[in-house]
Structure 1
Amino acid sequence: MDTADVRRRFTAHFEAAGHTVVPSAPLLLDDPNLLFVNAGMVPFKPYFLGQETPPYARATSVQKCIRTPDIEDVGKTTRHGTFFEMCGNFSFGDYFKEGAIELAWDLVTKPVADGGFGLEESRLWPSILHGDDEALALWMKVTGLPSERIVKLGPKENYWSMGVPGPGGPCSEILYDRGPEFGPDGEFTTTDRIAMPTELEDRYLEIWNLVFMQDELSAVRSKEDFDIAGSLPKKNIDTGMGLERVAYLLQGKANMYEIDVMFPVIQRAEELTGKKYGAQHDDDVRLRVVADHVRSSMMLINDGVTPGNEARGYVLRRLLRRAVRSMRLLGFEDRALPELMPVSRDRMAETYTDLLANWERISTVAYAEEDAFRQTLKAGTQIFDLATSEVKKSGGTQLSGDRAFALHDTYGFPIDLTLEMAAEQGLSVDEVGFRRLMAEQRERAKADAKAKKGTHQDARAYREVADSMGQKVEFTGYTEVVSEGAVRGIVVGGAVVPTASAGEEVELVLDRTPFYAEGGGQLADQGVIQLDTGAVVEVYDVQSPIVGLIVHKVRVLEGEVSVGTHAQGRVDTERRLSISRAHTATHMVHKAFREALGETATQAGSENAPGRFRFDFSATGAVPQSVMADVEARVNDLVLADLAVEAEYMSQAEAVRSGAMALFGEKYGDQVRVISVGDWARELCGGTHTPRSSHLGVVKLLGESSIGSGVRRVEALVGADAYRFLAREHVLVAQLSEALKVRPEQLPERVHDLVEKLRTAEKEIEKVRVGQLLAAGGELAAGATDVAGVKLVAHRVDGAGGGDVRTLALDVRGRLPQGQAGAVVVIGAADGKVSVVAAVNDEGRARGISANELVRAVGPIVGGKGGGKDDIAQGGGTDASRLDEALAVVQAEVARMASA
């Protein structure tokens, strides 16, 4: 049974049982606790937390997931992968334990011919939370199994929570006995285990986890240490069945890497490297890493992630580089991803057809990262060679842990390669030190994550207001900027209150509002709300903390605000129009860049503010100035074309068929709003826009820059702000034209000529200055002082920097009498900085004079340090008040060395 069939059977089973089939959410969701969706229930968290009302009582999904804590262990076990798919069924206050158990047991045991998985009941072992007698009785009732066939495990295994106060509950697992070849025999008869022995995890494989969400947790200190405040008012079901695990059981494979959607990548890697899967453990691990990471990277890029040095981008970069590195360790040093990723695409595209549509962007990003990593390996090898040569020169046999860590952390040089190359040089690596530094880095990351964890907004007050209203807030702002409504809720400090007085800052909810809540890159509206009682509030921000609720953050300027009072909301029209122009311009610029650079130039973020916007998009390098000019001209031509800007409502499927773009990471409902600029640009969008393109007036791109690997940012002005900018530019051009006595179109050539003349003049001045400096060299050499038989020149040059000081010192040394011991120390001071250079000839070094020791002696006097070799050394400092004292020390040091 192929993996796609397992997926189809799962959703069909639950759809037949009255569940709404919910498509997989993107791997990126707006959640403060998560980099990626890491479990099937994540898209449903707002329902479980009470932040949103679920639109269905039962749901089922097959959710894309990424888990990253153990990336370095991928491939070492056969159970875990980075990317996986979680099949789940969910009940929101509908059926509970008995229904969940019945539905799961029916699917796994039902014959294949009847749409089930046909697993043998004799191999299935349910587990429960130790002490959950209700679940025990239900499992016995549904399955007919005796108590001793149902394993009792502790809270570490069988209690679930989100790690923060909120819902939680006991779990039941369905375990599959793979047979004695996968673990000790006869070890599972004791069912009161509390913990699952590690040696049995491969044999008794968990394929499904059923969470019975019944408790309200008031404190969660760890997975096994929490307080239960009471029962949830509505009990929920959340289950997760590992698609890959069930697939490899049903396909008769030993692990997830050998299933139909993954093993073809291993086969291609075998062809490229000449290695054979199953022949050698280390090679098997590397081949599994390749299969997992290639697929994971492809799915991440498809959902909008680009490689970078932080957060999601860093995870993707690690995955791509580990895949490339593993191929190198397998003996393949050519470009690997162009050979491997298309294989993974072809296997996954049956389900995820957008892989084909987005392939140009996916492959461009992935292959560019591999090319960059190959350069990193080249540079890292040079750093490695320097480090090993220093170790050998000092007589050592081991590369230190901190050097190995620096290669890994600073230069991106993998420890595996460091170990391999060190062995080739006959050196070992302090792995203990390296692992300690890696552990310290992980602990810092965990502490940072823990500090950020638990930032789920307490939505209880908003939920209370929403429930009291019984309906969503009606947003009228698409068609009007003034609306009549009534106050339906007041929130202060997370609590619902009946009134608010002058001087207070509160959150206000109206049943109807024209104020746009910040979202989709568009800043919130501002304005005022006037109440019938005479009270006036200033609206300075608008947010939507839960779906369907629009919350105005306000200052009460006059009077008292009470729930139930009639109100009139008035949006700051100039601000709204200015923001709307910016938002429409963003859509147009997005489309123009995709025309100019290709479909890979996909929006990666934006901010639409009054009169200006910033637009981030995927690109592998800097955008040429000619492209910037073409995009700006294209957009302004379409501004003049006076295209109609229209909004339509349709299903997501209809929107995609119509050519509308959906942005990565954005959350869309079943019905979506599509904004069209003529028949040219179409995009899913909930923001406000101008009615016609001509209302933009003019769009001026200010420039573009990099904000991370593979992402560029364009900033621009729109409308009056763009006009004022161009007006200032015009005045500046006029002033320059007047000053240089040329026409405006001649300015570039004139300025270029002036710059070239200035450069030529600077070079001539530099020649004269250096000539004057060196002219003094002969006099200084001729006036050298005899110190214990050594010709010494100790000289200060005020106004000279480091380069001049070095030039003079070397020149004077070359002019000293041949055959005589000589030393030169020149000290310069310029702009508060002191430069010291010492130079000693061969005869001087034979007498024991060391340039390095002279500079080290002078350094502390001038407030600095330095060093070098015996023939030439240099240093610097910050104290220019003691230069004469430093020169005296030079003379004393030369006398001491010469007499030693």
Structure 2
Amino acid sequence: MKTHEIRERFTQHFVKAGHQAVPSASLILDDPNLLFVNAGMVPFKPYFLGQQNPPFPNGTATSIQKCVRTLDIEEVGITTRHNTFFQMAGNFSFGQYFKEGAITHAWALLTGSLEDGGFGLDPERLWVTVYLDDDEARDIWRDKIGVPEDRIQRLGMEDNYWSMGIPGPCGPCSEIYYDRGPEYGAEGGPIADDNRYMEIWNLVFMQNERGEGIGKGNFEIVGPLPKKNIDTGLGIERVACILQDVDNVYETDLLRPVIDEAEKLTGSTYGDGAPKEDNIRFRVIADHSRTGMMLILDGVTPSNEGRGYILRRLLRRIVRSARLLGAKGATLEQFMNTIMDTMTPSYPEIADNRERILRVALTEEKAFLKTLESGTKLFDEAVEELKNTSRAKTPKVLSGDKAFELHDTYGFPIDLTLEMANEAGLEVDMDGFNEAMGEQRRRAKADNQAKKHGHADLSIYREWVDNNPTVFTGYEELTSDAKVIGLLRGGEKVTEVSEGDEVEVILDQTPLYAEAGGQMADRGRLFAGETLLEVGDVQKIGKKLWVHKATVTAGGLDLGQSVTAEVNEEWRHGAVQAHSATHLIHAALRQVLGPTAVQAGSMNRPGYLRFDFNYTEQLTPEQLQEIATITNQAVDANFQVNTIKTSLEEAKAMGAMALFGENYGSKVRVVEMGGPFSLELCGGTHVGATAQIGPVSVLGESSVGSGARRIEAYSGLDAFRYYSKETALIEGVSRELKVQTEDLPERVAQLAEKLKAAEKEIEHLRSAQLAVKASEFLAGAGDINGFRVLTTRLPKGTSGKDLRTVATEIRNRVRDEAAIIFLAAEDGPKVPFIAAASDAAIARGVKSGDLVKRFGEFVGGKGGGKPDMAQGSGSNAAGIEEGFAALKSYVESL
């Protein structure tokens, strides 16, 4: 049974049982605790936490959620049932059915016949586990379902008790396992061998609330939940493994084609008889190709931090695994095309993003292949240094610190280091490497733990989110009468506030826009009689509640009081201009660059906008000019701006653009400008027609990370002011140079060429002067221990480049002597210095690099280079003379 059919059977089973099918959320959600969605229940957290009422008519839902877990990337392929990307199928009940319902639903699907839409698994091969004291679940399995008691096992908190790792809902679990047969391990159920007995479904019975604590079992059970909920998770890949009768999740219909492609590209063979390390590498290629592709699909681009760093690691592990298997050139294009072919039936949006996915992946591969070249050079230098310093009879060992530096700083994989070290006849201090890696992981884990919080900051708003969601009136009006239904001061609920207080005000309705979708919150005021509050920010809680952050500037305010809420009209006017201009620029961008230029984020405030998009190349001036022209043509066309409320499916069918990372509801708002010119899902405020935006001045574009670019622009009056300022500047320069504005570029180019020639001549004269003074400097050299030694402090303002010129000239004049030249100077706050040694001095053991290292200690700097010449820079000029003295002492000791 193909994986896509397994997905469909799961969904239909629960839809027939009255569950609402919910599409998978993006892998990227606005959750401070998560880099990626890592479990099927994550998009439903607001409902489990009680922050929102579930919007499902029957209080039940089902989904197949995209998930990524990357805590142990290095373990991928070693075990045969873990993927970094996986599809978690789940059914959820919010206060409806509980243990018996969850167990009955699961058993019916697993053991139901293929003809009836089930999976057709042999019930005799299914085992279950329950929590230690969960007799209720045990009785249901035994008495209602008919599972023999000897196939029901009890496990403790580490295995069969679930929580999110933070204060919130928790409860016992019941897990379903499939016996793969004696060829996979020992008898005795999951307790005896969890390789033979593969876990396929976890049923979580949320019935309690946990307190503070760390880890899976180190926390207190505070008490029962008001409503008992169900959260289950079935691993699609694991069920596919069983139904397709393959040994592991890497050999299912989704991933095996990538392994087959890797065999063709590398010449190596996967499977029985192949080296264990090779099989692991094949699995890494298959797993990471899919995860990398899905991350790029959801808007992640490679970078050196956060999500982008994870993606970069995955893509680079593919490249290096293929290389270790024998691949000679680029491979990612073939791997990405293969995995996109296997995954598109379940994720049709891949087809529309195919070109963009390839562009991001191939750009990263190209960069990493260069890194491999530079890393290899660095490795060779380390090996050469090691061979020169190690004794002949001592085993040559590359230090763990050096191996870690290659891995961490330069992105050089450790197994590639091991392979190359073996070829060079070296060993690697793996204990030292693992210690450094362990320390890095401990720091990352501690940092991750520090970022977690118990959502207590949102629980105070729960009653309003559930019972009194805010009515937003700001699409139609800028002033609304409202009632104060909540007051908070210092994070505590209060019934009244007075002048000078910083407060949070919750109204039953408001015209003030809450920050969302890149649009900054409205500014405005709340007033009633003598009372006045200045609103400086509005934030949205649970997508339902508007919280006004305000200062009481006059009078006081009571809970239940009626007020007038008013938007600052000038602020809103500038904000809608910028926001609507953002839509036009997005549309223009796609016209110029094609559909692969996809929005990756935006920010707009009155008069200004910035727009981030996924693209791997710098835009040309001509492209940027074309984007600006198309945008302003759309303004001049005075397109009507229409809003349409419809279903998400209808919006997508219309061709509306959706943003990565957004978790849209069943009803969405589509903003249309000029028909097909711009059609986007958007909840923001906009102009009525594009001419109201006014001029849009595109300031430029820049890089904001690998594969991501940013355009910045002004709109409305700010654009006019910008153009006026630029015009005045150009006219002023034209007057100064006595040329017409149209002749200004040519005149500036002429002046630049003259300046460049003059600077070159000055540089030539300075070098000649310094060369002439070389004789004067050399006259100050003395004899130390048979060396002719010169230590000279050159005049202030002498640059490092000038020092090199003088040092080279002096060394050429004493070529036949054992000479050491050391020069230093003050150049602003810097202290450049240089050492040079003649061939005769080098033959006696002098290395210029050693000299600059010693000197650097006295001037607060460091440097390096070759034995004949080395250079550095410091910051403490007071240490120059002391440094010279130390160098002379060193020469005396040679």
Same fold (TM over 0.5): yes
Deviations 1:307-366 (CA, angstroms, capped at 9, x unpaired): 111111111111111122211111112221221222221211111111111111111111
Match of 1:591 among 570, 587, 612: 587
Equivalences for 1:557-596 in 2 at 5 Å? 557-596=553-592
Structure 2 match to 1:752: 749
Equivalences for 1:188-227 in 2 at 5 Å? 188=189, 197=191, 200-227=193-220
Match of 2:166 among 154, 164, 167: 164
**1:652 is the counterpart of 2:645:** no
Q: Distance in 2 between matches of 1:673 and 1:614?
A: 22
Q: Distance in 1 between matches of 2:490 and 2:166?
A: 20
Q: Distance in 2 between matches of 1:893 and 1:216?
A: 70
Alpha-carbon shift at residue 124 of structure 1 (Å)? 1.2
SS at match of 1:200: coil
Structure 1 match to 2:610: 614
Asked if 2 retains the 8 angstrom alpha-carbon contact of 1:79 and 1:255, the reply is yes
Deviations 1:572-601 (CA, angstroms, capped at 9, x unpaired): 010011011000011111111111111111
Q: Distance in 2 between matches of 1:52 and 1:483?
A: 25
Identity %: 52
Structure 2 match to 1:489: 486
Match of 2:323 among 318, 322, 328: 328
Q: Distance in 1 between matches of 2:519 and 2:258?
A: 42
Identify which range, 678-687 or 495-504, moves more after superposition. 495-504
1:807 maps to a residue whose letter is T
Identify which range, 267-276 or 300-309, moves more after superposition. 267-276
Q: Distance in 1 between matches of 2:388 and 2:784?
A: 36
Asked if 1 retains the 8 angstrom alpha-carbon contact of 2:53 and 2:466, the reply is no
Equivalences for 1:815-826 in 2 at 5 Å? 815=813, 826=823
How has the CA–CA distance of structure 1 residues 627 and 125 changed in structure 2, closer, same or farther, with 3 Å as cutoff?
same
- Structure 1: give runs of 5+ residues left out of the alignment: 189-195
Structure 2 match to 1:52: 52
Structure 2 match to 1:77: 79
Asked if 2 retains the 8 angstrom alpha-carbon contact of 1:704 and 1:712, the reply is yes
Alpha-carbon shift at residue 829 of structure 1 (Å)? 4.1
- Structure 2: give runs of 5+ residues left out of the alignment: none
How has the CA–CA distance of structure 1 residues 578 and 848 changed in structure 2, closer, same or farther, with 3 Å as cutoff?
closer
Structure 2 match to 1:349: 344
Alpha-carbon shift at residue 433 of structure 1 (Å)? 1.1
How has the CA–CA distance of structure 1 residues 853 and 496 changed in structure 2, closer, same or farther, with 3 Å as cutoff?
closer
Structure 2 match to 1:406: 405
Alpha-carbon shift at residue 379 of structure 1 (Å)? 1.6
Alpha-carbon shift at residue 456 of structure 1 (Å)? 2.5
Structure 2 match to 1:68: 70
Identify which range, 221-230 or 19-28, moves more after superposition. 221-230
Match of 2:236 among 243, 265, 287: 243
Alpha-carbon shift at residue 271 of structure 1 (Å)? 2.4
2:101 maps to a residue whose letter is G
Alpha-carbon shift at residue 453 of structure 1 (Å)? 0.7
How has the CA–CA distance of structure 1 residues 744 and 257 changed in structure 2, closer, same or farther, with 3 Å as cutoff?
same
**1:256 is the counterpart of 2:255:** no
Structure 1 match to 2:473: 476
Alpha-carbon shift at residue 274 of structure 1 (Å)? 2.8
How has the CA–CA distance of structure 1 residues 156 and 738 changed in structure 2, closer, same or farther, with 3 Å as cutoff?
same
Q: Distance in 2 between matches of 1:892 and 1:220?
A: 60
1:487 maps to a residue whose letter is V
Equivalences for 1:386-425 in 2 at 5 Å? 386-395=381-390, 397-425=396-424
Alpha-carbon shift at residue 210 of structure 1 (Å)? 0.6
**1:311 is the counterpart of 2:310:** no
Structure 1 match to 2:725: 728
Q: Distance in 2 between matches of 1:201 and 1:846?
A: 66
Structure 1 match to 2:666: 670
Structure 2 match to 1:628: 624
**1:702 is the counterpart of 2:699:** yes
How has the CA–CA distance of structure 1 residues 424 and 561 changed in structure 2, closer, same or farther, with 3 Å as cutoff?
same
Asked if 1 retains the 8 angstrom alpha-carbon contact of 2:697 and 2:714, the reply is yes
How has the CA–CA distance of structure 1 residues 92 and 530 changed in structure 2, closer, same or farther, with 3 Å as cutoff?
same
SS at match of 1:276: coil
How has the CA–CA distance of structure 1 residues 349 and 552 changed in structure 2, closer, same or farther, with 3 Å as cutoff?
same
How has the CA–CA distance of structure 1 residues 432 and 766 changed in structure 2, closer, same or farther, with 3 Å as cutoff?
same
Asked if 2 retains the 8 angstrom alpha-carbon contact of 1:219 and 1:228, the reply is no
Structure 2 match to 1:808: 806
Alpha-carbon shift at residue 804 of structure 1 (Å)? 2.9
Structure 2 match to 1:193: none
How has the CA–CA distance of structure 1 residues 66 and 559 changed in structure 2, closer, same or farther, with 3 Å as cutoff?
same
1:273 maps to a residue whose letter is T
SS at match of 1:654: helix
SS at match of 2:639: coil
Alpha-carbon shift at residue 884 of structure 1 (Å)? 7.7
SS at match of 2:460: helix
Identify which range, 401-410 or 844-853, moves more after superposition. 844-853
Alpha-carbon shift at residue 20 of structure 1 (Å)? 0.8
Structure 2 match to 1:35: 35
SS at match of 1:605: strand
Alpha-carbon shift at residue 219 of structure 1 (Å)? 2.4
Deviations 1:140-188 (CA, angstroms, capped at 9, x unpaired): 2221234333111111111101111111111111111112111112x34
SS at match of 1:114: coil
Structure 1 match to 2:639: 643
Deviations 1:727-749 (CA, angstroms, capped at 9, x unpaired): 11111111111111111111111
Alpha-carbon shift at residue 217 of structure 1 (Å)? 1.6
Deviations 1:68-90 (CA, angstroms, capped at 9, x unpaired): 11211111111111111111111
The structure number with the bigger radius of gyration is 1
Asked if 2 retains the 8 angstrom alpha-carbon contact of 1:462 and 1:546, the reply is no
Alpha-carbon shift at residue 94 of structure 1 (Å)? 0.5
Structure 2 match to 1:179: 181
**1:234 is the counterpart of 2:251:** no
Structure 2 match to 1:87: 89
Alpha-carbon shift at residue 65 of structure 1 (Å)? 1.0
Alpha-carbon shift at residue 258 of structure 1 (Å)? 1.5
Asked if 1 retains the 8 angstrom alpha-carbon contact of 2:167 and 2:454, the reply is no
Match of 1:553 among 549, 570, 573: 549
Identify which range, 367-376 or 402-411, moves more after superposition. 367-376
Alpha-carbon shift at residue 109 of structure 1 (Å)? 1.5
Identify which range, 757-766 or 826-835, moves more after superposition. 826-835
Deviations 1:593-625 (CA, angstroms, capped at 9, x unpaired): 111111111110000111101110011121112
Deviations 1:472-510 (CA, angstroms, capped at 9, x unpaired): 321110111011121122233444332222222222111
Structure 2 match to 1:768: 765
Asked if 2 retains the 8 angstrom alpha-carbon contact of 1:793 and 1:824, the reply is yes
How has the CA–CA distance of structure 1 residues 766 and 273 changed in structure 2, closer, same or farther, with 3 Å as cutoff?
closer
SS at match of 1:458: helix
How has the CA–CA distance of structure 1 residues 158 and 629 changed in structure 2, closer, same or farther, with 3 Å as cutoff?
same
How has the CA–CA distance of structure 1 residues 834 and 454 changed in structure 2, closer, same or farther, with 3 Å as cutoff?
closer
How has the CA–CA distance of structure 1 residues 601 and 869 changed in structure 2, closer, same or farther, with 3 Å as cutoff?
closer
How has the CA–CA distance of structure 1 residues 740 and 228 changed in structure 2, closer, same or farther, with 3 Å as cutoff?
same
Asked if 2 retains the 8 angstrom alpha-carbon contact of 1:781 and 1:813, the reply is no
Count of equivalent residues? 884
Q: Distance in 2 between matches of 1:542 and 1:634?
A: 34
How has the CA–CA distance of structure 1 residues 126 and 847 changed in structure 2, closer, same or farther, with 3 Å as cutoff?
closer
